[in-house]
């Protein structure tokens, strides 16, 4: 916020008191009262000049302008009495109007000055807060970069050690003939592979929210996933080309995880479909369905919990986290025995259509 000033104009002169100009105006008022009123005995018209003096006094000195109004009002009454021999009601009324104008203008100006002072102070405080926020943001960004670097280095070292462990496990399997020992080795291999997947999860989770959300064409993403997985033995159909949603750049991983879950846990999945539908007042839902075994009623919410499932138990948890960045929500509404049905709820304002649904 910045104060705006009118530069190089007569208005700038009125922003600050002008004592010498004000003194000249008062002298001019005295001259008019003594010369016009007293000498020529004209009691009207010239008094309008007093309003100019009173208003300027109000602008410059606030309610102190009442003293100027009292001075000219009293002077006008006295001269009227001298010239007429009586106190004229007209003179009294004009004097009263001088005082009223001075009070109103002075009060308004003082109130405006009070508001201006408050705004300036708030502006100063906001500037200080913004400065502190900028400093905090920069410190946060630096700390985040350092943490990401440390995490990346640690993750790389752990993966290298895991590769070594998995290599030795493979050698152990080749030279071991004892069935019981082979069973233990396979368990070790499973544990090492689980650790490897969890390490990969930390990388994906670390990337959530790092980059700004963006508009993404869902149909193009699904088609891209289908093209980079030529080994799919599952037919994938999509009716999403007309839909774009505002989401984290990791949105692709949500769809990839859903497809991967169908392959791993669907048991008999032959077909996967993506579609859209209206949802509530102004919202839409991206619908993912397959023809596999589905999800039991008791597990419909548990599948989104961290650690639930037969694999790492992190995929659907991660998917919900990615979607929540821009206020999207996912739930499972399928019928067990007929396949899964995941609905991704997209609020109004977070989607746009190239053509009506």
How much is the pLDDT for 327?
Answer: 92
How much is the pLDDT for 107?
Answer: 92
How much is the pLDDT for 161?
Answer: 85
223-226: Cβ within 8 A, 24+ apart:
224/252, 225/252, 225/255, 225/256, 225/259
| Helix intervals (H) in 88-235 | 89-175, 179-207, 218-227
How much is the pLDDT for 128?
Answer: 92
Tokens describing residue 232: 């799919």
* 354, 217 contact by CB (below 8 A): no
Q: Kindly report the pTM of this predicted structure.
A: 0.53
How much is the pLDDT for 204?
Answer: 65
Question: What are the C-alpha distances in Å from 63 to residues 54, 60, 103, 111, 196?
Answer: 10, 9, 6, 10, 79
The number of residues in the chain equals 357
Which residues are bridge partners to 238 per DSSP? 274
**Could you give the CA distance from residue 30 to residue 39 in angstroms, rounded to a whole number?**
12
Question: Which stretches of the chain score pLDDT less than 50?
Answer: 1-3, 6
Determine how many CB atoms are found less than 10 A away from the CB of residue 161.
12
Q: Which fold has domain 214-353?
A: Heat Shock Protein 90 (3.30.565)
End-to-end CA distance of the chain: 44
How much is the pLDDT for 97?
Answer: 93
Tokens describing residue 96: 């009263």
Extents of the domains making up the chain: 1-207, 214-353
How much is the pLDDT for 350?
Answer: 92
């Amino acid at each position: 916020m910045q104060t705006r000033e009118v530069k190089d104009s007569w208005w700038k002169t009125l922003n600050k008191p002008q004592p010498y100009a004000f003194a000249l105006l008062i002298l001019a008022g005295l001259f008019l009262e003594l010369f016009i009123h007293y000498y020529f005995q004209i009691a009207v018209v010239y008094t309008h000049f007093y309003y100019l003096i009173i208003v300027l006094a109000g602008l410059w000195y606030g309610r102190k302008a009442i003293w100027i109004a009292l001075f000219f009002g009293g002077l006008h009454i006295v001269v009227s009495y001298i010239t007429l021999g009586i106190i004229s009601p007209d003179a009294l009324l004009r004097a009263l109007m001088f005082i009223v104008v001075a009070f109103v203008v002075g009060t308004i100006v003082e109130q405006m000055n009070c508001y201006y002072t408050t705004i300036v102070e708030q502006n100063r405080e906001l500037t200080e807060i913004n400065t502190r926020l900028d400093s905090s943001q920069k410190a946060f960004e630096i700390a985040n970069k350092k943490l990401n670097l440390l995490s990346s280095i640690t993750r790389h070292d752990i993966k290298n050690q895991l590769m070594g462990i998995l290599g030795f496990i493979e050698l152990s399997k080749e030279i071991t003939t004892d069935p019981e020992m082979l069973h233990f080795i396979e368990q070790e291999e499973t544990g090492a592979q689980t650790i490897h997947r969890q390490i990969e999860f930390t990388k994906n989770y670390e990337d959530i929210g790092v980059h700004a959300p963006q508009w993404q064409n869902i149909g193009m993403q699904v088609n891209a996933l289908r093209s980079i997985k030529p080994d799919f033995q599952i037919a994938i159909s999509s009716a999403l080309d007309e839909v774009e949603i505002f989401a984290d750049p990791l949105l692709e991983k949500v769809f990839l995880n859903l497809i991967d879950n169908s392959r791993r846990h669907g048991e008999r999945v032959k077909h996967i479909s993506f579609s859209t539908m209206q949802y509530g007042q102004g919202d839409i839902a991206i619908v993912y369905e397959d023809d596999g075994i589905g999800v039991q009623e008791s597990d419909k919410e548990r599948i989104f919990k961290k650690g639930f499932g037969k694999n790492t138990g992190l995929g659907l948890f991660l998917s919900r986290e990615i979607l929540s960045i821009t206020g999207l929500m996912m739930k499972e509404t399928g019928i067990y025995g007929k396949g899964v049905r995941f609905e991704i709820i997209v609020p109004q304002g977070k989607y746009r259509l190239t053509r009506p649904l």
